[in-house]
């Protein structure tokens, strides 16, 4: 891999699921040279090893229970700038590849650790998934209909609180290592990260501006001008007309008389939502998209995964492309001087990989 803002940075990715492969993919898009150490004999994962999440790195299979293969892994780590791993606390230490061993071999190393609960705490050794981690931080409680919480895919815990903060932490520690000559461990926990993502809502709650129940607030579907509505064809539109000028544009597009409508009157929100719902149900999703096109009403069609890449705005920005066959999201954010790029999964020739890193 060449080019990108992180060109020249070497990353070792120990085989994991969830947020670690996405973090490695992003770092690879940004120019890092990544070697993924997978478990010998493990069947390929259709997601993590495929042409999308698996893009931008080379793979070498090692049996980390073998002394010889552990030595090989440690030799690779000694030539790296960053390690990414996503095992339960203590697993890497038992393999002889924990932070102490790796930093002894490479004092400038940034050792990024990704777990759900973190390296410490009473739940550190307990199994869990995204839904469990965001349940303990207040995030899940705040998302969904009034009757029950709804998991927001695994975007908040795994990928928002996990991947993104792991990547930020690793890059921050890398800057520090290059300044000080000393590496460190980055303990990225999905509970910590998803709690951090909730900062604004905790601030609003503390100030008395957020009710601690679903569909009762400005941004959780409680407001009639910030929610989705079903259309005549079964499609949906997303409405986000928060500011008064945008709300006025929404009313105009719906051909509703603004007289007597007070956007700030919470008591009137349910009745207003019913009026909006009845109006949106009269026409198809794409009809409404045409009505609101070019306006500041903040009304957009809710697109499916198969539809989104073909939207004119996404096409204009090349937000999606198919460089390796399947359609996939392209790197973000954009860099003016060192643009990120995508490449397909690279060689799995172990001898060639080791030779390229000065081993054997």
Task: Tell me the two tokens of residue 310.
Answer: 């073909």
Residue 158 known to be catalytic = yes
Q: How many other C-beta atoms are found inside a 10 Å radius of the C-beta of residue 42?
A: 10
CA distance 45 to 47: 5
CA distance 297 to 253: 8
Residue 265 known to be catalytic = no
CA distance 156 to 162: 8
Q: Which helix (H) or strand (E) holds 34?
A: strand 33-39
CA distance 189 to 186: 10
The set of residues, in sequence order, having a beta carbon less than 8 Å from that of 205 and lying 6+ positions away, is 212
CA distance 235 to 204: 32
Catalytic residue from among 15, 81, 130, 158: 158
Catalytic residue from among 129, 141, 205, 311: 129
Dihedral angle computed from the Cα positions of residues 84, 89, 94 and 96, in that order, rounded to the nearest 10 degrees: 30
**Alpha helices for the chain (secondary structure H):** 19-29, 67-78, 91-94, 99-105, 130-135, 165-180, 190-197, 199-206, 244-253, 269-280, 285-292, 312-316, 350-356
- The phi, psi pair for 37, rounded to 5°, reads -100, 110
Which residues are catalytically annotated? 129, 158
């Amino acid at each position: 891999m060449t080019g990108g803002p992180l060109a020249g940075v070497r990353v070792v990715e120990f085989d994991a699921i969830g947020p670690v492969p996405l973090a490695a993919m992003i770092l690879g898009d940004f120019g890092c040279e990544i070697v993924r150490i997978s478990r010998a004999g493990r069947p390929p994962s259709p997601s993590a090893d495929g042409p999308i999440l698996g893009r931008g790195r080379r793979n070498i299979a090692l049996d980390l229970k073998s002394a010889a293969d552990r030595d090989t892994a440690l030799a690779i780590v000694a030539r790296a700038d960053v390690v990414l791993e996503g095992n339960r606390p203590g697993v890497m230490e038992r393999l002889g590849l924990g932070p102490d061993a790796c930093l002894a071999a490479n004092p400038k190393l940034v050792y990024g650790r990704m777990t759900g609960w973190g390296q410490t705490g009473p739940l550190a050794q307990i199994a869990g998934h995204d839904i469990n981690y965001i349940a303990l931080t207040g995030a899940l409680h705040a998302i969904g209909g009034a009757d029950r919480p709804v998991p927001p895919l695994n975007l908040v815990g795994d990928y928002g609180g996990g991947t993104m903060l792991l990547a930020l932490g690793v890059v921050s520690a890398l800057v520090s290592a290059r300044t000080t000559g000393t590496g460190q461990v980055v303990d990225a926990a999905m509970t910590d990260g998803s709690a951090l993502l909730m900062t604004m809502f905790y601030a609003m709650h503390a100030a008395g501006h957020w009710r601690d129940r679903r569909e009762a607030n400005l941004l959780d579907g409680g407001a009639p001008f910030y929610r989705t509505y079903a259309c005549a064809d079964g499609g949906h539109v997303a409405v986000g007309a928060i500011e008064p000028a945008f709300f006025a544009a929404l009313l105009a597009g719906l051909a509703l008389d603004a007289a007597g409508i007070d956007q700030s009157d919470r008591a009137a929100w349910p009745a207003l939502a019913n009026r909006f719902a009845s109006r949106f149900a009269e026409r198809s999703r794409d009809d409404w998209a045409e009505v609101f096109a070019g306006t500041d009403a903040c009304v957009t069609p809710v697109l499916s995964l198969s539809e989104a890449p073909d939207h004119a705005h996404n096409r204009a920005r090349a937000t999606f492309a198919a460089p390796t066959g399947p359609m996939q999201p392209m790197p973000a954010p954009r860099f003016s001087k060192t643009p990120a790029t995508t490449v397909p999964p690279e060689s799995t020739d172990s001898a060639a990989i080791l030779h390229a890193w000065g081993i054997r």
